[in-house]
Amino acid sequence: MRRRRRVVLWAAALAGYAFLYVPLIIVVAYSFNNSRLNAEWVGFTLEWYDKLFHDQDMLIAAGNSLAIALVASIVSTLLGTAAGVAMYRYPSRLLSVLVLAPIAIPEILMGVSLLIFFVLLNLTLGLVSVALAHIAFCIGFVAIVVRARLAGMDETLTEAARDCGASPWNTFRYITLPLIMPGVIAGALMAFTLSIDDFVITFFTAGAGTVTLPLQIYSMIKIAVTPEVNAVSTLLMLLTLALIIIASKLSPTLLRSE
């Protein structure tokens, strides 16, 4: 009976992982397909990657997405870290609702509300409005990660620093910040990933003439899903995997330095 349960659990786990990863494997494989259609495998080619790196519209869209993601991740990490510390040090239901509301609100509702807000401010829609929108919904994710890291921190260390005469700022700078740095980095990487592949909020706040990578991919798949779309999707997956590897390498190092 126990063996049968183990077999069933393994089968369910394998089925779940297959459901998640087999489509991704197919996307990667067909990015090397020597055919404009994804209906059948014709042969191996790197033509679509060459075409991708010579596609000016795609390069501009990728540059816009990277610039927005960098700005959004940096600013949201600073503000989200401060918000996470405030939520931990000064527990307040109102503060938690204000910080975490953008996470719970449906993206389409947030996109529409931000669009109306920018129009009321008479702010021209473009890269700035998209970056501000991404910062708004990334702060909550960073704050959650930082607060979780603070919850597992040994408070006696900060108390010892204060007993030794350290100011609140020095205590945070030399004790608290190094201890929560793995969480800060994890939040920054999460914010970067969420920003670079966001579509719904970007669609409402980009305005005419501003194109990001998700918007460019959307405009391409309305006609047909070509191997060029598979190629850019593969590169995005590689970027995400690289961020995961960097985070896994940095976190143990930071933990050892503590």
Residue 73 banded pLDDT, cuts 50, 70, 90: very high
Residue 234 banded pLDDT, cuts 50, 70, 90: confident
Dist CA 24 CA 21 (whole Å): 5
- Residue 176: name the closest of 193, 194, 191, 162 by CA: 162
Domains of the chain: 56-257 (1.10.3720.10)
- From residue 150, alpha-carbon distances to 21, 85, 86 in Å are 33, 7, 11
Read off the pTM: 0.82
Q: How confident is the model over 48-66, as pLDDT tens digits?
A: 888 888 888 888 988 999 9
- C-beta separation of 178 from 149 below 8 A: no
Question: Which tokens in the block code for residue 156?
Answer: 């006696």
Residue 250 banded pLDDT, cuts 50, 70, 90: low
- Report the pLDDT value the prediction gives residue 248, as an integer from 0 to 100: 66
Statement: residue 253 has pLDDT above 50: no
Statement: residue 254 has pLDDT above 80: no
48: Cβ contacts below 8 Å, ≥ 6 apart: 31, 32, 33, 226, 227, 228, 230, 231
Q: How confident is the model over 169-225, as pLDDT tens digits?
A: 888 888 888 888 888 888 898 889 889 888 899 999 988 888 898 888 888 877 766
